[in-house]
Structure 1
Amino acid sequence: KRDLLLLHSGGGVMTPASVKDFSARLAGSGIAAGAIASRFIGNLCGYPNSIGFDMGGTSTDVSLAWNGESRITKDWYIEFGYPIRFPSIEVLTIGAGGGSLAWQDEGGSLRNGPQSAGAFPGPACYKNGNRIATNTDANVVLGRLGTSLAGGKITLDPALAAEAVQETVAEPFGMELHQAAEAIIAVANANMGNAVRLLSISRGYDPRDFALVAFGGAGALHGAAVAKELSIPTVIVPPNPGVTSALGCLLVDVQHDFSESFMADASTVSPAEMQAAFVLMEKQAVERLGHEGVAQEDMALQRTVEMMYQGQWRSLAVSAPARIESICPLIEAFHNEHEREFNYRREDAPVSIFRIAVKAIGIVPKAEIPRHGVLPHVPEPLGRRGVWFDGVSHDAAVYERDQLSAGAAFAGPAIVEQFDSTTVVPPGMSATVDGFLNILIVTKG
């Protein structure tokens, strides 16, 4: 028996008593759970730089971990424009999912989403009356999805999927059926690829230095194609992609964030003054953790300082030591972080300190992932079917995920089916199952 803890958007949990004071932190907690799980899986597989790619029925959530830590944003806006000014795991959400609708804009171009068929009526192949093509319908036409989902609980009608793709895209654009289905998927992948670019390239990160963790009900369907478009060399598909976000809730500590303005010129500020401000804030942090029932030996405190070049409006956070004896290391760390994010530094420019912050962590027991013995082998497929890639129908091997043990290795084109997701391994790519039963896809042949 354990006390109830609630996840918040900063990547930690807190007690119901704290929720009364910080209820706004619960907004965005669901997508934060996916980002936490993605970061954990990346670290587990030896990829401290990872991009979370959580694609569901109506949206795709993209997150990023660098050196094993999630990227944090100081504030973000919920759907209808209200700001949440608490440190939160940075997640970029776009309207691209399995139910996203294909449509033609006023200029005659093919679009995909953000409108969605939702769970009901759902894609045309769900047989609930929708006649507009979705990403799911396109994947059925291409053979990437079979005739059922969720272990046979949801049956799919390929004829209705083909009819929707034909009427929505093939006829208006003068395309053949499979060409139209691939066009639908290509637009969806381009949209999701742009989301990854916004969270990586535009933040100063090179996607080639990352692994893509593909999860959610549809993430593994599209992950390899999106990774290839961005030259990401490795895709990691967790054992249970559809419920990976839930795993994130089991991997967190009690966490609270404290910050206060500390406006000063970095060249003249007193280290003793900054140290005193940190000590006072840390006293509050320890008291808060104590109220949460965290024992002293399970507490950890992390300091950060937000800095900027004078005249700038956007600050960058750098880690600060437990004892501030000189500001020079902080200034150098800021120059380095500015160069990483914006590709330039100004050694001669005056630096301003904007804010100091303390993250208070109460370490709690976490889920442990069992490791299996790896025995390299080539698994026997359960069957084969025609799957379309780049205008050509390929004879693809079909595997059942539950039958793939650690050490299994196979080449694309291949389809891996399971209760909560389907994994696509395109031609020219290869896949292996690691000791934690993740599928690792190498995107370069």
Structure 2
Amino acid sequence: MEIIGVDTGGTFTDFIYKTDEGKWGVYKLLSTPANPAEAVLEGIKKIVRGEKFKVIHGSTVATNAILERKGAYAAFITNSGFEDIIEIGRQNRSRLYDLFYKREEPLVPSELRFGVSSRVNSEGEVVEDIDDEELENIVKKLEDAKAESVAVCFLFSYLNPEHEIKVKSAVERLSLPVSLSHQILAEFREYERASTTIINAYVSPKMKRYLYNIMDELKDNELRIMQSNGGSISAQTASDESVRTILSGPAGGAVGAFEIGKMAGYSRLITFDMGGTSTDVSLIDGRLPLTFESEIGGFPVKVPMIDIHTVGAGGGSIAYLDAGGSLKVGPESAGADPGPICYGKGERITVTDANLYLGRLVPEFFLGGNMRLDRDRLTKYFSLMSKELNMDEIELAEGILTVANTSMERAIRVISVDRGYDPREFVLFSFGGAGGMHATFLAKLLRIPKVFVPKNPGILSAIGMLMADVVKDYSLTVMLKAENTNYTKLNSLFEPLVEKGLEDLKNEGVNKKIRIEKYLDMRYLGQSYEIVVPFEEDYLNLFHSLHQRTYGYADKSKRVEIVNIRVRAIGIPSKPVFETMRCGSSKLKSDAILGYRDVVFDGSFYKTAIIDRDKLACGNVVEGPAVVVEYSSTIVLPFYSKAGVDKYGNLIIDIEGAENEG
């Protein structure tokens, strides 16, 4: 059976697949923003040779539906008196000193929020049952309003879901998709639970149409979808629980970086994924970082996600002058259409155009020569903007890249320095179509001594999807005082979640190689937030030590509370095996050097070698300045860098003096 990894980005849709000879092939084509499925299906048709194949896909459909406010016309049903909880939210302000700050408008308008007179108490006991006549009136209002989806969230439903199930039974006759909070997120904090459930109701209909469109074309072939937590799920599960796919594509990149880095002997990585529209960064310290406190478009999402920080700086990010005449880059992107100026249609300068203007992109080798870049189109636009700024065109191009690099440097500091990590102790793992052109400059800024560029970095997110496990996450609020429980009692509470995980993995087609991970959300009594602690016999001391490492203090005399229990059921499928090369001389073969050209670094032209990455062998060393070209990406090596090739074909770039500066 053939296997294909697909990642849809804002500019390109990327594919990796097994060829008939058993080797790995890669393919990129421009995305189709109006209907992302078109590019996905076009690429699959181009690739598929045999009759049976499996596709693992990272999709941006759920993300874009929220950011563009193009989801379903969704309704919200909750306890009477709590209809406006999603509008009231929390008192936190994301921009404290913004006098004109306004909250995002809720995804469900007031006329589609309905309250039901019912109540379950904090022990899970029914205090007031649902009135059947009142429920029927709400169902009639849903029908009259032509609602397309329904989210249901009652107080303490994670302890007793009876009322949510009753509402679903009543609404089902309208043939509407219904999202129940106890199934989406069985945890306390009703605002976050309601928000997560509403987001699922808002994006699931659109995701379902998208996935069914693809499945219709794939016939009987299997389609799996990447989740935000770094694991894959069936397309059917993804269409029902679409909130779990919000960071689908970036999660694939983090998984690919983690697995390939580990294979090559690097476990402490700062991942740097620069695509056409945005840049995603993450810090991996021996394991994939998970977060349970995320938001998208200003709305909290409390499902497990790989901890990824995103900024609006990519190859297609547009350069412009702000009201004060200062040069800015992003977050607006030229996307796939019209794209950068050099693609032939765009009329606004982008980061890609600046790289091409400085000679750091080689037009005849872009996408293996399948897509020619038009450098001559740049002259007019760079001339006009440079006159506005009273500088020459070279200064403008370098200025654009400096502004973009500064934005990405800040993003890396957020996930490292701001959290107590020293970037110099990590390796910068660079991927994405544009990552290789900026990684060495960022490493220099952050004094990171090594940059790791895998083979085919432009399609690493698609590779990560093939390397992902099947992961099912479960949680339950238990609210226990540590002094009133012990390891044995807690372990018994995990049993229903473990059984559910094993059953769901079986339904996902996984029967062998299963791993169960257990966690506790713990805090000192009186605190508002929890720390996720691996569940083991000495969990209490482990909590104290993690609290010390996270916050700089611990107090063993304080009472401790166990808030939630968590289970990760992980099915481990067969994964790609990458061939190794025999290592030899550091000297390049003559056909590896494609020629020389002048490239600008620090305002000066340097004679720079153009290197064919496909001709590099293990042990080869490339001294900067050089531009290394391959199908999916371009890697720029300034004069202060030197790259070696390891046995997997990865480029390990040393940054001269990085660890010794300062």
How far, CA to CA, are the matches of 1:189 and 1:349 in structure 2? 45
Computing the radius of gyration from Cα coordinates, the structure with the larger value is: 2
How far, CA to CA, are the matches of 2:441 and 2:487 in structure 1? 50
Q: Is the contact between residue 137 and residue 165 of structure 1 (CA under 8 Å) also seen in structure 2?
A: no
Q: Is the contact between residue 211 and residue 236 of structure 1 (CA under 8 Å) also seen in structure 2?
A: yes
1:340, CA displacement in angstroms? 3.0
Is 1:441 aligned with 2:441? no
Per the alignment, do residues 247 and 129 of structure 1 end up closer, same or farther by CA in structure 2, a change over 3 Å counting? closer
Give the TM-score, by structure 1 length: 0.92
How far, CA to CA, are the matches of 2:654 and 2:547 in structure 1? 32
Is 1:172 aligned with 2:388? yes
Is 1:373 aligned with 2:582? yes
How far, CA to CA, are the matches of 1:7 and 1:126 in structure 2? 30
SS in 2 for 1:121: coil
Q: Which residue of 2 aligns with 1:198?
A: 414
How far, CA to CA, are the matches of 2:446 and 2:305 in structure 1? 26
How far, CA to CA, are the matches of 2:432 and 2:530 in structure 1? 33
**Deviation per CA, 1:387-436, whole angstroms, max 9, x where unpaired?**
11112211111101111122110211110011221001111111011111
**Deviation per CA, 1:204-259, whole angstroms, max 9, x where unpaired?**
32211211111111011111111221122211111111111110111122210111
Q: Is the contact between residue 137 and residue 164 of structure 1 (CA under 8 Å) also seen in structure 2?
A: no
1:350, CA displacement in angstroms? 3.5
User: What is the percent sequence identity of the aligned residues?
Assistant: 39
1:176, CA displacement in angstroms? 2.2
Q: Which residue of 2 aligns with 1:49?
A: 268
Per the alignment, do residues 283 and 38 of structure 1 end up closer, same or farther by CA in structure 2, a change over 3 Å counting? same
How far, CA to CA, are the matches of 1:247 and 1:52 in structure 2? 15
Is 1:163 aligned with 2:380? yes
Q: Is the contact between residue 216 and residue 244 of structure 1 (CA under 8 Å) also seen in structure 2?
A: yes
Q: Is the contact between residue 34 and residue 246 of structure 1 (CA under 8 Å) also seen in structure 2?
A: yes
SS in 2 for 1:226: helix
Counting only pairs closer than 5 Å after superposition, residues 31-430 of structure 1 correspond to structure 2 as 31-67=250-286, 69-78=287-296, 80-130=297-347, 132-148=348-364, 149-168=366-385, 170-295=386-511, 297-321=512-536, 324=537, 329-379=538-588, 380=590, 381-430=593-642
Give the TM-score, by structure 2 length: 0.63
1:267, CA displacement in angstroms? 4.1
Per the alignment, do residues 254 and 180 of structure 1 end up closer, same or farther by CA in structure 2, a change over 3 Å counting? same
Q: Is the contact between residue 204 and residue 340 of structure 1 (CA under 8 Å) also seen in structure 2?
A: no
1:99, CA displacement in angstroms? 1.2
SS in 1 for 2:355: helix
Per the alignment, do residues 122 and 14 of structure 1 end up closer, same or farther by CA in structure 2, a change over 3 Å counting? closer
1:19, CA displacement in angstroms? 3.3
Comparing 25-34 with 333-342, greater Cα deviation is found at 333-342
1:126, CA displacement in angstroms? 2.5
How far, CA to CA, are the matches of 2:368 and 2:571 in structure 1? 40
SS in 1 for 2:384: helix
Q: Is the contact between residue 204 and residue 342 of structure 1 (CA under 8 Å) also seen in structure 2?
A: no
Comparing 331-340 with 110-119, greater Cα deviation is found at 331-340
1:109, CA displacement in angstroms? 2.2
Q: Which runs of 5+ in 2 are unaligned?
A: 2-53, 55-221, 658-662
Aligned residue identity for 2:389: F
How far, CA to CA, are the matches of 2:272 and 2:337 in structure 1? 24
1:55, CA displacement in angstroms? 0.9
SS in 1 for 2:467: coil
Q: Is the contact between residue 265 and residue 352 of structure 1 (CA under 8 Å) also seen in structure 2?
A: yes
Q: Which runs of 5+ in 1 are unaligned?
A: none
1:23, CA displacement in angstroms? 2.9
Higher relative contact order (CA 8 A, sep 6+): 1
Q: Which residue of 2 aligns with 1:29?
A: 248
Per the alignment, do residues 176 and 28 of structure 1 end up closer, same or farther by CA in structure 2, a change over 3 Å counting? same
Q: How many residues align?
A: 434
1:138, CA displacement in angstroms? 1.1
Per the alignment, do residues 372 and 286 of structure 1 end up closer, same or farther by CA in structure 2, a change over 3 Å counting? same
**Deviation per CA, 1:274-305, whole angstroms, max 9, x where unpaired?**
1221223222222222333322x522101111
Aligned residue identity for 1:77: E
